[in-house]
Structure formats: C-alpha cells, structure tokens
Chain A
Amino acid sequence: MSDDEIFAAAYREHYWAVTRYVARRLAGHAGEVEEVVAEVFTVAWRRRAELPRAPLPWLYGVARNCLANAVRGQGRRRRLLARLGNDDAAHGRYVTSGPEAEPPGGWVHEALARLSAKDQEVLRLTAWEELGVDELAVALGCGSRAASMRLHRARARLRTEIARLGPAPAAPHRPRPATAVDATPAKEHGHG
C-alpha cells in the first residue's frame, strides 16, 4: 500500500477515536471539535510518511500538539467567556450526565484539574484512551521507561488529590445508577 492508502485507512479506522480524544479535552466546546480534528488529520497527512504501523497513539500525539496550540491562545478568552456565562463549559454541561442529578465523577475531574497538565495528560491517555505504556510513550514522544515513570508518579498524585476531595471513606462503594460511563468501554483502539 502507498503512504496515501495507509493514511486513508488510518483516517477511516481512527477518525472517531481521535474525535473523542479531542472532545474530551475541549470540554464544552463541541463546535470546535470537528475543526481541531480536521487540523489533526491535515497535520498527519503532511507527515504521513512517518505514520507508524499502529497509528492511533501517534495520532493522539499529533492531536495533543494541535490542542496545545489552540488552548494556549484561547485560555484567557475562554476564562473570560466562562465568566460571562456564554458557553457550555461555564455551566459544566461537558460532563456526561446520568439519571442522577449529580454529574458523575465531578469530583474526580476536580482532583484531576489540580494536577499539572503533563500529569493530567498521562492519566487521561491511560484511563480514557486506554493506552498501554508503550503506546503512551508514542503519544507523549518519550521512551517507555519515562512514560511508565510519569504514569506512576501521576497516579500517586491523583490518588492524593482524590483522597482530599473524594467522598467520605464509607461512600466509595455507594451504588450508582448505571450510566453510559459505567459500561465497560470498548478498547479505544483496534476497533474498525
């Protein structure tokens, strides 16, 4: 297969996984997701000769850079916008809501938000994109040992924040209504 054909196959296979990756990180800015995803694949197209055999972690790495570019410039505007109350993020509507009134995992998000951006990303890639350590290394652009160490440290820091913010000790096993987020998700990669 030519580079173009390999790229097209990767695009078709992973378009939605990349879209979810971007959507998870553009909380409340649903309208921007498609455009950022288009940017991700445009960059990937230009670099298609580098596309690895398992392209999804590499695509996540491209997406990470595209998002960083977008977020750096928009941070201040976003904060002001949130204050003015004109978008979804300001109202917390980005959290998938279940039948219960309380947004599921709200305090987990809060704990996550207290970590450094690097810690957050390594944890999200592991928990949400379900990357293994070797894939994590590709997405982060580092070696496997470094990825493993970063994950280990980030987990410890998240654990600490969760202990500070989480429900009282008796509460963790409280029954929760089944929601989409409770279902065991399909592996984020390897699907068709």
Chain B
Amino acid sequence: MADELELLRRANPVPADAPPHADGPLDRRAERHLHRLLHEQTISPPSRELRGSRSRRGVRLAWGLAATAVVAATALALLLGGPSTPHAVAAPRPLVVRADATPVPLDRLAERAEAAAEEGGPALRKGTHVRSWSLGMSDDAPPVTLPEERVVRWTADGRHTELVVATDPRHPGRPVLGEDEDGNPRQVEDGHVISDTTYPPSWSDAPPHSRPPHDADRLRAYLEEAGHTGSMDTSQLLDATGLLLDNWTLGARESAALVRLLADTGGLRPAGQVTDRLGRRGEAYVHDGTGLRRMLIVNPDTGAVLGLETTFTRAQPEYGVAAGDVMEYSAWTR
C-alpha cells in the first residue's frame, strides 16, 4: 500500500497543473494588483481598508452568495470580544409586506422605470451611501446585529474617501452596537466613527469599478464579470446588485436597466408594498433560497433599488438564529 504521504498527494484537491490555477502568465486581476502594490506606495493597511465595507462584504462572504466580492480578512472584524461583549442587541425585525397592497409584476415596474428614465431623472454617480444592519456571529457568543452607515465619495483625481459610522436610523441619538479599534463589537455613541479613510488614486477599469452600462444585456455581462460568475441565477444577480450598489449610485437609466435585468432573469415573486427602514415606500420582490429569503425593495415609480433584506426561514438554535431573524439588510440612498 502506498504510504500515507503518497495517498495524501493523490488526494490533492488542486493539482499543480489543473486549471484555473495552473502556472502561467498572470491574469489581468493579478497584474492589476501587482501594479497597484508597486505604484501606490500609500496603500492602506488591510484592516482599515477592509473594515469600511465589512458589513456588506463580510456577510456576503459568510453566506457564499457572492464570495468574490469579499476580502476574507474582514472576518476578524466580526469576531466578538472578551468579557465585555454585549449580548442584548435590538436586532431589526423583518420588513412587513402590506397585505392589502396589490403586487406589481416586476415587468410592469421595469416599464415604468424605462419610461421614467426617458424623461430624465438622476444621473449615475460613483460612490455610495448605504445604511446596513448585518448579523455578526462568533463561536463563543450569540449573534449580534451591527448597524452602520457607509458613505463613499470619489474625487476627480481618482481618490476616494470612505466614512463608516455606527448608527441606527430607527433610533437616532441612542447608543448603538459599533466596534472598537480591534473590530470587536461594543456599545458606542450614535454616529461613532468606525473608520474614515482616504484612498490613493485608482483608475481600475474592471467591474464593479468601471462605469456600469445602462442596457440590460450589457449590464448582465458587467455584473457577471463583477461577481466572477458565469451565467447568473437570481440569487447571484441579487448578490451582484448589492455589489453594484455598494460602489455606484445609479442614475435613472442604470436603474431601469437593472430592474429590466431582474425582471428578465425571473425568480423574484412580487409580494406587495413595504415601508423600508428609512420610511420609504417600496414594492417588495421575494426570492426564496434554501434556509434564506431575500427581499428586494424597489421604488415603485422609478425602479430604483432601495434595499435588500436577507432573512432566515429556518431556525438554527445552536447558532442562536431563529426563523425570521434578519441576517442582513441594506438600504441605499442617494
């Protein structure tokens, strides 16, 4: 019998000569990263660089829904601290769909959005403004929900700033769960600055940093490249939508293309009207996955995506998770 090392060698899950990681020239992404390392000497330390987008990226990583958007080291930011770890957390309730509202098919909404875009409407802008609630889990404490507001603004010289504060718009002025310098959750004042970072110039020409198209087919290709997926299913498209909106504030035409793409992809069931956590009226569209339900909230007049909520549909008691708990919610504003 072959010895144990030989058996293990044969069980190598990623052989040296197997694609896509076989030796060869660097791909575009690897070249870009090397270029960035060599020419952007002021690159930020990863902990700061990553923390700002932790709530979006980390959660997405955790659920493997669009893992490519993630830097794995963000995980540390979600680790809970020691004895002072807060346990009592006001986790958000899932949004309630109005029973008396007549659902609007997504196709219809796409038509409205296209009509609205023809009349003008807001323009595309790089950067984002998102409020999020995301569940952080650890091995030794119950899950906690971290409410954050993240604002990313780009300047003409290619720099961008990212400000992340701990805040919960449902309870203005009240202390919230934020995180300390080490990324451990703790109670902080409303508006506590988690990170305030200025990044050196970057002119990345790859999605999601390149300008998104305003045509549904081209937008699909763009999002597939951004999400590193092949042909996207509904769940992947929702992931990619989050990724897009975490980088861009869409204009009317891009919003119309996105809602058309969502309608054409299918898998989203019109559920009725909701009022989102920022008090905005929206149409809700639901996608049921295994153990998770995702609800997209869309402006009924313009087709602009207002929010995306992910909720557990099955209890997982040993993880401290009940059916109906919100895993993540993001609300985008201009």
Could you say which residues of chain B place their CB within 8 Å of the CB of A112? Answer: 8, 11
B213 to chain A, nearest CB (A): 23
Could you say which residues of chain B place their CB within 8 Å of the CB of A71? Answer: 75
A150 to chain B, nearest CB (A): 14
Known: A32-B61, A72-B76, A112-B8. 12 other contacts (CB 8 A): A31-B228, A35-B68, A41-B34, A45-B37, A77-B62, A77-B137, A84-B292, A104-B11, A108-B11, A109-B11, A185-B12, A186-B23
Question: Contact between B23 and A81 (Cβ–Cβ < 8 Å)?
Answer: no
Point out which of A15, A29, A81, A88 has the most chain B C-beta atoms below 10 A from its C-beta. Answer: A15
| Interchain CA distance A155-B7 in the complex, whole Å | 11
Point out which of A46, A76, A88, A173 has the most chain B C-beta atoms below 10 A from its C-beta. Answer: A76
Q: How many residues of B contact A (CB 8 A)?
A: 63
Interface residues of A in 30-72 (CB under 8 A from B): 30-36, 38-39, 41-43, 45-46, 66-67, 69-72
Contacts A4-B38, A36-B72, A192-B23; A186 near B67 (Cβ below 8 A) = no
A28 to chain B, nearest CB (A): 8
B167 to chain A, nearest CB (A): 23
Stretch at the interface among B24-32, B156-164, B192-200, B274-282: B24-32
B41 to chain A, nearest CB (A): 9
Could you say which residues of chain B place their CB within 8 Å of the CB of A8? Answer: 34, 38
Stretch at the interface among B13-21, B85-93, B118-126, B144-152: B13-21
- Contact among B21, B26, B30 for A20, CB-based, below 8 A: B21
| Interchain CA distance A42-B45 in the complex, whole Å | 9
Binary CB contact string for chain A from 91 to 125 against chain B (1 if under 8 A, 0 otherwise): 00011100000001110110010000000000110
Could you say which residues of chain A place their CB within 8 Å of the CB of B139? Answer: 75-76
A162 to chain B, nearest CB (A): 6
Binding site for A on B (CB under 8 A): 1-18, 21-24, 26, 29-30, 33-34, 37-38, 43, 45-46, 61-79, 137-139, 228, 289-292, 314, 316, 319, 321
**Which B residue sits closest to A90, measured CB to CB?**
B64
Contacts A31-B66, A41-B37, A181-B11; A73 near B138 (Cβ below 8 A) = yes
Q: Is the interface of A mostly helix, strand, loop or mixed?
A: helix
Could you say which residues of chain A place their CB within 8 Å of the CB of B228? Answer: 31, 34
| Interchain CA distance A85-B292 in the complex, whole Å | 10
| Interchain CA distance A146-B33 in the complex, whole Å | 36
How many of chain A's residues touch chain B, expressed as a range? 35 or more
Contacts A66-B73, A191-B23; A181 near B291 (Cβ below 8 A) = no
**Which B residue sits closest to A44, measured CB to CB?**
B37
* Pairs A–B under 8 Å by Cβ, sample size 17: A23-B21, A32-B67, A32-B68, A38-B33, A39-B73, A43-B46, A70-B75, A84-B291, A84-B292, A84-B316, A86-B65, A104-B11, A108-B10, A126-B5, A128-B12, A162-B7, A181-B10
A90 to chain B, nearest CB (A): 9
- Contact among B1, B5, B75 for A127, CB-based, below 8 A: B5
Question: Contact between A105 and B30 (Cβ–Cβ < 8 Å)?
Answer: no
Contacts A35-B71, A41-B33; A81 near B62 (Cβ below 8 A) = yes
Question: Contact between A24 and B138 (Cβ–Cβ < 8 Å)?
Answer: no
Q: Top 6 nearest A-B pairs by Cβ distance?
A: A105-B11, A73-B75, A31-B67, A70-B72, A87-B64, A84-B291
Could you say which residues of chain A place their CB within 8 Å of the CB of B26? Answer: 11-12, 15
**Which A residue sits closest to B290, measured CB to CB?**
A85
B314 to chain A, nearest CB (A): 7
| Interchain CA distance A159-B290 in the complex, whole Å | 38
Question: Contact between A74 and B9 (Cβ–Cβ < 8 Å)?
Answer: no
Contacts A104-B10, A172-B2; A85 near B291 (Cβ below 8 A) = yes
Does A180 make an interface contact (CB < 8 A)?
yes
Question: Contact between B5 and A181 (Cβ–Cβ < 8 Å)?
Answer: no
Contacts A16-B21, A192-B23; A32 near B70 (Cβ below 8 A) = yes
A192 to chain B, nearest CB (A): 7
| Interchain CA distance A4-B37 in the complex, whole Å | 9
Does A17 make an interface contact (CB < 8 A)?
yes
Does A145 make an interface contact (CB < 8 A)?
no
| Interchain CA distance A108-B13 in the complex, whole Å | 11
Contacts A84-B314, A127-B5; A182 near B14 (Cβ below 8 A) = no
Question: Contact between A183 and B321 (Cβ–Cβ < 8 Å)?
Answer: no
Point out which of B9, B65, B72 has the most chain A C-beta atoms below 10 A from its C-beta. Answer: B72
Does A158 make an interface contact (CB < 8 A)?
yes
A41 to chain B, nearest CB (A): 7
Question: Contact between B9 and A127 (Cβ–Cβ < 8 Å)?
Answer: yes
Does A80 make an interface contact (CB < 8 A)?
yes
